[in-house]
Amino acid sequence: MKKILFVASECLPFVKTGGLADVVGSLPQCLDKENYDCRVIMPLYSFMAQKWKDMLEYKTHFYMDFNWNSYYVGIMECEYEGIKYYFIDNQDYFTCDKPYAGMPYDIGRFAFFSKAALSILPSIDFRPDLIHCHDWQTGLIPVYLNDSFQANEFYRGIKTVMTIHNLKFQGVWDIRTMKDIVGLPDYYFTPDKLEFNRDANMLKGGLVYCDAITTVSDTYAEEIKIPYYGEGLDGLMRARQHDLRGIVNGIDYHMWNPETDKLIYKNYSVENFRKEKVKNKTALQADIGLDVDPKAMLIGIVSRLTDQKGFDLIAYVMDEMCQDAVQFVILGTGEERYENMFRHFAWKYGGRVSAQIYYNEALSHKIYAASDAFLMPSQFEPCGLSQLISLRYGSLPIVRETGGLKDTVQPYNEYESTGTGFSFVNYNAHEMMGTVRYAEKVFYDNKREWNKMVERAMNKDFSWESSALKYQELYDWLIG
Ligand code: ADP
């Protein structure tokens, strides 16, 4: 039995702010349980829903030296769907209303978390063969492991994997403060280790000291070796390219299933979507103030409203796109200028644009089911889950060819009648609009072809099974 430990700052069903929680929630469930004993450690945030807190049992506690003090480390545990979860309890660090409070507060919080995650292992009697770390919040784990923990035989020989879910976030702060908080010696704060443009970088530490690096699609694994996508770490990525690989994320096919989804208006399948899917469209149109018209093409957007997702392209040509016979529904929160932009367009094109500026899981399901196409013109996209969900729901993705979008959406080829969506190459608003208009043309003028494409999209398999096998291969290779 191989012992694998996941350490992450969020994990479904307990806490989610983004795709990371989906991955950490799904992957342990999908590993072969006969051969892998996989457990998960995450923080015990005070804002976690009471129903989850009620499931937890107190295991033990101790005090740990950190940041010139001795800190309480409580361990709570639970078993959920066959997987053991451990929660690290410390009220100084984890009393909050959301997981991320911004810098420099998060430096202390997640450095504490990383050190505590290693420190609790003897108390929970679990000596992992491999620790799978996720994103910058756990970047110090391979570093701590290389440092003082080596004095204890228990920790020697533990392998580490670092997965990059989004390279944009790295945990960077000035060296003096960082050194003071995290308690690592000067040795680590040089340009070949944690130093980064004269600051200190927690993710970089993890990437230097881990045994293997993965990221969430093949294309993103290639892209981050060049400066445009590398966020300042492209040199390190090139240096470690033989230890770097892409493994695309899957989605939970039970949760995201138009045949059984209780959150949508009308269930449908690949056999009957031609008749049934449209009922979701008209019901949603009525609910959110769009003109009820089964024939109108509805384009959906469900997203964090940030630059990464390409909203400046949309801002640039939205007026022009609204001259066409299409409708837009936007569900998202984020940067104020984009929130206001969509509110403005909803006001200007009432009945044809609907802006829902909040976070709502149920409405997201309804939008995937109701829309004909799904727009995602990202500037960069490590993997992207939204396009996988929209494929599953037969809402054809219109994407830019970057990262995971390029790997998962096959562009329509009208001559060979292949493809599952539409895509464009350059980060250019008119190129995006040209592609949206091409999609409109197929939708209105060639419905048979459109529907065949929906069928192909719905038949694609982006469940976790094949990706979980690739992670297992990696674990086996490292553990030996
Ligand atoms: P990222 O992790 O970069 O935000 P992904 O496409 O990987 O992007 O994952 C986003 C996930 O969050 C999807 O499941 C999407 O449906 C969901 N989501 C984003 N914004 C909202 C929102 N306002 N309401 C409900 N779900 C949302």
CA 177 to CA 102: how far, in whole Å? 15
pLDDT in tens, 400-434: 999 999 999 999 999 999 999 999 999 999 999 99
Q: How many angstroms is it from 364 CA to the middle of ligand 1?
A: 9
| Cα 301 to ligand 1 centroid, rounded to whole Å | 10
| Distance (Å) from CA 436 to ligand 1 centroid | 21
Could you tell me the pLDDT band of residue 215, with boundaries at 50, 70 and 90? very high
> 302 C-alpha vs ligand 1 centroid, how far in Å?
6
Is residue 216 pLDDT above 90, yes or no? yes
The strand pair at 326-334 and 353-356 is best described as parallel
CB–CB of 393/255 below 8 Å?
A: no
CB 143, CB 206: distance < 8 Å: yes
CA dihedral 100, 60, 120, 2 (to 10 degrees): -110
CA–centroid distance, 352 to ligand 1, in Å, is 23
Dist. CA 400 → ligand 1 center (Å): 17
* Closest-lying ligand 1 atom to the alpha carbon of residue 361: 25
- Report the Cα 155 to chain-centroid distance in Å: 30
Pocket test for ligand 1, best of 168, 216, 251, 304 (most atoms within 8 A of CB): 304
Neighbours of 428 (CB within 10 A): 15
Q: In a 3-state reduction of DSSP, which class is residue 266?
A: coil
The predicted model gives 24-46 an average pLDDT of 96
Q: What is the pLDDT of residue 169?
A: 95
Give nearest CA residue, ligand 1 atom 15: 386
**66-77 pLDDT, tens per residue?**
999 999 999 999
pLDDT of 479 reads 97
Ordered alpha helix ranges (H), 140-256: 140-146, 175-182, 202-209, 218-223, 227-230, 234-239
pLDDT band at 65 (very low <50, low <70, confident <90, very high): very high
- Segment 251-264, tens digit of pLDDT: 989 889 999 999 99
Query: What atom of ligand 1 comes closest to residue 387's alpha carbon?
Result: 6
The pLDDT of residue 19 is: 84
> Atom 24, ligand 1: which residue's CA is nearest?
359
Task: With H, G, I as helix, E, B as strand and everything else as coil, classify residue 271.
Answer: coil
Burial 161-185 (b: 16+ CB within 10 A, else e): bbbbbbbebbbbbebeebbebbbbe
Ligand 1 atom with the smallest distance to the CA of 19 is: 2
Give which of 66, 157, 73 is closest to 123, Cα–Cα. Answer: 73
DSSP-H helix ranges across 12-90: 19-30, 50-53
Asked whether the CA dihedral 431, 434, 436, 438 is positive or negative, the reply is negative
Residue 427 tokens, joined? 């980060």
Q: How far is Cα 283 from Cα 296, in angstroms, rounded to an integer?
A: 13
* DSSP state, residue 263: T
What is residue 79's DSSP assignment?
E
Provide the pLDDT confidence category of residue 18 given band limits of 50, 70 and 90: confident
pLDDT at 480: 86
Ligand 1 geometric centre to CA of 388 (Å): 11
Q: Which residues are near ligand 1 (CB < 6 Å)? A: 18-19, 302-304, 331-333, 359-361, 364, 383-386
Helical (H) or strand (E) element with 431: helix 429-445
Segment (H or E) for 163: strand 159-164
The answer to whether 301 touches 329, Cβ cutoff 8 Å, is: yes
Which residue's alpha carbon is nearest to atom 13 within ligand 1?
Answer: 386
Protein residue whose Cα sits closest to atom 22 of ligand 1: 359
Query: Which residue in 122, 134, 146 sits closest to 40, CA to CA?
Result: 134
pLDDT in tens, 151-190: 999 999 999 999 999 999 999 999 999 999 999 999 999 9
pLDDT at 365: 98
- % of the chain beyond a pLDDT of 70: 100
CA dihedral (195, 196, 199, 200) positive or negative = negative
Instruction: Identify which has the larger pLDDT, 450 or 19.
Output: 450
Q: What is the pLDDT of residues 190-210, one digit of tens each?
A: 999 999 999 999 999 999 999
Nearest atom in ligand 1 to 166's CA: 3
Amino acid at 298: L
Arithmetic mean of pLDDT over the chain: 97
Would you state the pLDDT for residue 17?
A: 86
Q: What's the 310 CA to ligand 1 centre distance in angstroms?
A: 14
Give residue 39's pLDDT. Answer: 98
Q: Which two tokens stand for residue 78?
A: 């639970």
- The 3-state DSSP class for residue 78 equals strand
Q: Give residue 46's pLDDT band: very low, low, confident or very high (50, 70, 90).
A: very high
Residue type, 291: D
Question: Once rounded to an integer, what is the mean pLDDT over residues 258-271?
Answer: 98
Q: How far is the CA of 304 from the centre of ligand 1 (A)?
A: 6
Ligand 1 pocket mutation pick from 303, 306, 342 by most atoms within 8 angstroms of CB? 303
First to last CA, the chain: 12
Nearest-CA residue for atom 8 of ligand 1 = 384
Compute the distance from residue 335 Cα to the ligand 1 centre, in Å: 15
Using the predicted structure, report yes or no on whether residue 444 has a pLDDT greater than 90. yes
pLDDT at 460: 96
**What residues contact 431, with CB distance under 8 A and at least 6 apart?**
424, 425
Atom of ligand 1 nearest to the CA of 20: 2
Q: Hey, whose CA ends up nearest to atom 26 of ligand 1?
A: 361
CA of 300 to the centre of ligand 1 (A): 13
pLDDT value at 348 more than 90? yes
Please identify, by atom number, the ligand 1 atom nearest to the C-alpha of residue 308. Answer: 3
